[in-house]
Structure 1
Amino acid sequence: MIDSMILSVKNQKAILVGLITQQQTEEQVNEYLDELAFLAETAGAEPVKKFTQKLEHANAVTFVGTGKLQEIKQYMEDNEIGLVIFDDELSAKQIRNIEQELQVKILDRTSLILDIFAMRAQTAYAKTQVELAQYQYLLPRLTRMWSHLDRQRGGGAMMRGVGETQLESDRRIVQDKIADLKEQLKSIDKQMIVQRKNRGKMVRVALVGYTNVGKSTMMTMLSKSEVFAENKLFATLDTTVRKVIIDNLPFLLSDTVGFIRKLPTHLVESFKSTLDEVREADLLVHVVDISHPNFEEQIEIVEKTLLEIDKEEKATILVFNKIDAFTYVKKDEDDLMPSTRENISLEELRKTWMAKLNNNCIFISATNKTNVDELKQMLYDRIKEIHIERYPYNDFLFQKYDEEDME
């Protein structure tokens, strides 16, 4: 893993900055900054202030206007802030100019997500994928002149040629590293393809969804095996595959990395093989955090990302999770009284528009195991249909499988 390529934000007070434009309303920007704050907290930073500005488009030099930048600088000096995080991806020029003006660490949403991925990666495969994404992100930003690259230079082919500039040398080093990491991933990909073939002919089900919607908790509940789950974004990066049996019906269940708005292109590309679990799945279980105020937008983001991953339309079950935390605003008959939030029952949820999605949606609480039996029955019915269609004369259900092939 690269040392110091992504700036550490742990234990740092941070300012968050977003733009209100024709493409992003004030309400959306506030929601995005709330998510950015959650990302910052996940990385170990402490968000203390949010700044927004209305502009037609981002300033090509400093992202925000010079007046807003001075306002941010003054607040930082008054409150001893050492980190500023921007909600959109910054160019090398913008980063350089903002750093020169503010004299503190500058991150954008992409570099913050990369930082989190670097912290969360556990296996050699995930670490290699993250490192590749880091290099791809940093390649066009080489004008920042990384002093740490000097430590990676060796003799022979890595020596700087006559008349070669520092920037050209750095770019060549990074390009060589990217090529090497891609070769490493190709080698690991071949091993994973063999593993997937060894899993036999069982139906494959993939859990997909926005980050932090409860996929890992659901995986634990269905597979009866411990899967790491935490109330933080991107708690898990590596795809986990388990053999699950409902009644007499075995199938493979995979837990994939969560999606997020403005997911860096580099990460989507680097995690292509991890997302092969989605491509090869026979059935997708789209998990939604119904308690999130903007869960409908999260559904759209996941569906859009799925289309980018695989153009083929797959059978999907929509699982509205966390119904124990779902509330709605109840207006008092007296307008002078404040509004209150109340929980809504499972029976009431079944009467909403969400329940009318082609009989392919269900409401549960994975944590409290509410309505889990109905979910299992729905999974059983869908998986059985797929299996019978594919293997009408196969005694597959009665075969026994080596558990090691499932990992």
Structure 2
Amino acid sequence: MMEPQPAAVIVGVDRNENKETFDYSMEELANLSLACGVMVAGQLTQRLDHPTPSHYIGAGKVQELSAMMKACGAEMAIFNDELSPSQIRNLEASLQCKVIDRTLLILDIFAERAQTREAQLQVEVARLQYMLPRLVGLRESLGRQRGGVGTKNRGAGETKLELDRRRIEAKITALNKDLETLVYQRQLQRKLRKKNEIPVVCLVGYTNTGKSTLMNALLDRSRSPGSRKAVFVKDMLFATLQTHVRSMELPDRKSFLLTDTVGFVSKLPHDLVKAFRSTLEEVAEADLLIHVVDASHPEAEQMAAVTEETLRELGADGIPVIYAYNKCDLCSGKALPPMRDNAILLSAKLQFGLEELLQAVSSRIFSDYVRCEMLIPFDQGRLVTYFNDHAEVLASSYEVEGTRLQLECKRSDFERNQAYVIRD
């Protein structure tokens, strides 16, 4: 028998911003609550220039919220912004119920979805950093603990609150050490890719825009069977919390690494971005970004803007971008969002528009390829094998002096093998 879902009232302050933006933010909060297994029983909003310092909402609204919660049987209140420790304390005292803010809600979802060791460590660090300033000392926690033996020379000791704080700080330090090992391994992998001159293409975008579905659809077109291991796909927020890297080999033997990353969301907690920075460094060091936009979503433009702002925070705003407007199969009868430059319309689910996307990617990251003709001596047969594996051989023939190849190859390979290039 399934346990009944806890019910909550969601609360937001409209700071006289764009009404559609605020409405979508509240709708997203409801979806985040559902993703966390909480049923939304009601909604309360208030228009203020700034949230009140003591309770986030005004005193009259606090009473209205209390009455609403009793009427609909809600067990908790979920607020659309990050609350200060004093706001949480005051609200819980006034409402006599559990109070959660948007940040904690997102942290809970990440904690539930994290599968890899690295993702679990990153979420735990972010959760502890969120908790640290919110430790509240009450009653026995504020009572001084005595130190020493017997009745003489008793030290003032530490409060329970101070001990809790020290334990959390020690745990954060220990977790960060474990993360450093994993980060070092990831940095070594990136250095090896750069050494091998393999281009890296990153899929970025708002959560649930179809990045993982698009990655699987592109992998189906890879010439390398070993790279076709599918990534997890599900129609839910934050289905991907770890970086997936797969090798893509195109029909002309050009290859690159395709990376699927964590989805973004508005008001993404700062501690979470900080904790996941090592994972998101994949984005900042990519050669090309594919910004996946849900073309069927009414707030597609706002979601794209949030992604671009997050990329700026990560220092990835200078990387070339291709905009992939996904889910166009759901746009029948709907107006498409405003198109940015370098935009491609596609449907990862129905697999149309993918060839155009791959052509756009190829033209961007393989612009340094050179068409040439080489005559390779027979005693350098390893070079013929190399070019057959790493270049597009357009034609080949055997002559007295060696193997004649017409090919398109990397400029670096062209420059390394100048001795065999046939000049016109």
TM-score by length of 2: 0.78
Quote the residue 2:379 is aligned against: none
d(CA) in 1 for partners of 2:97 and 2:120? Answer: 28
Q: Find the partner of 2:324 among 319, 322, 333.
A: 319
Q: Find the partner of 2:166 among 172, 175, 180.
A: 172
Contact 2:41 2:72 in 1 (8 A): no
**Secondary structure of the corresponding residue to residue 308 of structure 2:** helix
Contact 2:137 2:160 in 1 (8 A): no
Q: Find the partner of 1:244 among 242, 248, 253.
A: 248
**Secondary structure of the corresponding residue to residue 205 of structure 1:** strand
d(CA) in 2 for partners of 1:47 and 1:136? Answer: 28
Q: Please tell me whether residue 309 in structure 1 is matched to residue 314 in structure 2.
A: yes
Change (3 A) 1:387 1:81: farther
Q: Find the partner of 2:265 among 260, 278, 303.
A: 260
**Secondary structure of the corresponding residue to residue 227 of structure 1:** coil
Higher RCO (CA < 8 A, seq sep 6+): 1
166-175 or 192-201: bigger deviation: 192-201
Q: CA RMSD in A?
A: 2.6
Pairwise CA distance, 1:218 = 0.4
Pairwise CA distance, 1:112 = 0.2
Counting matched residue pairs gives 353
Contact 1:17 1:85 in 2 (8 A): yes
d(CA) in 2 for partners of 1:138 and 1:299? Answer: 30
**Secondary structure of the corresponding residue to residue 274 of structure 1:** helix
Deviations 1:264-304 (A, max 9, x none): 00011100110111011000000001111111111111111
Alignment of 1:74-93 (within 5 A): 74-93=67-86
**Secondary structure of the corresponding residue to residue 278 of structure 2:** coil
**Secondary structure of the corresponding residue to residue 348 of structure 2:** coil
Deviations 1:66-117 (A, max 9, x none): 1111111112112211121100000111111111121222110000000000
Query: Which residue identity does 1:166 align to in structure 2?
Result: K
What stretches of structure 1 of length at least 5 have no aligned partner?
1-8, 149-159, 328-341, 397-407
Change (3 A) 1:113 1:146: farther
Q: Please tell me whether residue 234 in structure 1 is matched to residue 238 in structure 2.
A: yes
**Secondary structure of the corresponding residue to residue 323 of structure 2:** strand
Quote the residue 1:393 is aligned against: 412
Query: Which residue identity does 1:273 align to in structure 2?
Result: S
d(CA) in 1 for partners of 2:202 and 2:6? Answer: 37
Q: Find the partner of 2:57 among 36, 49, 64.
A: 64
Contact 2:56 2:87 in 1 (8 A): yes
Deviations 1:188-215 (A, max 9, x none): 1111112233443211000001111000
Contact 1:10 1:44 in 2 (8 A): no
Pairwise CA distance, 1:145 = 6.2
Pairwise CA distance, 1:324 = 1.2
**Secondary structure of the corresponding residue to residue 230 of structure 1:** coil
d(CA) in 2 for partners of 1:45 and 1:274? Answer: 29
Query: Which residue identity does 1:363 align to in structure 2?
Result: L
Contact 1:203 1:386 in 2 (8 A): no
Alignment of 1:105-254 (within 5 A): 105-143=98-136, 162-199=156-193, 200-224=196-220, 225-247=229-251, 248-254=253-259
Pairwise CA distance, 1:235 = 0.8
What stretches of structure 2 of length at least 5 have no aligned partner?
142-153, 221-228, 372-408, 416-424
Query: Which residue identity does 1:274 align to in structure 2?
Result: T
Pairwise CA distance, 1:231 = 1.4
Q: Please tell me whether residue 370 in structure 1 is matched to residue 370 in structure 2.
A: no
**Secondary structure of the corresponding residue to residue 143 of structure 1:** coil
Quote the residue 2:5 is aligned against: 11
d(CA) in 2 for partners of 1:49 and 1:118? Answer: 26
Pairwise CA distance, 1:25 = 3.8
Identity of aligned residues (%): 43
Change (3 A) 1:263 1:376: same
Quote the residue 1:154 is aligned against: none
Contact 2:111 2:120 in 1 (8 A): yes
Pairwise CA distance, 1:395 = 7.0
Quote the residue 1:97 is aligned against: 90
Quote the residue 1:44 is aligned against: 37
288-297 or 127-136: bigger deviation: 288-297
d(CA) in 2 for partners of 1:10 and 1:262? Answer: 29
**Secondary structure of the corresponding residue to residue 256 of structure 2:** strand
Contact 2:308 2:317 in 1 (8 A): no
Query: Which residue identity does 1:228 align to in structure 2?
Result: F
Query: Which residue identity does 1:284 align to in structure 2?
Result: L
Change (3 A) 1:228 1:40: same
Q: Please tell me whether residue 27 in structure 1 is matched to residue 20 in structure 2.
A: yes
Query: Which residue identity does 1:374 align to in structure 2?
Result: E
d(CA) in 2 for partners of 1:253 and 1:90? Answer: 38
72-81 or 258-267: bigger deviation: 72-81
d(CA) in 1 for partners of 2:267 and 2:124? Answer: 19
Contact 1:206 1:253 in 2 (8 A): yes
d(CA) in 2 for partners of 1:55 and 1:147? Answer: 38
**Secondary structure of the corresponding residue to residue 73 of structure 1:** helix
Larger Rg: 2
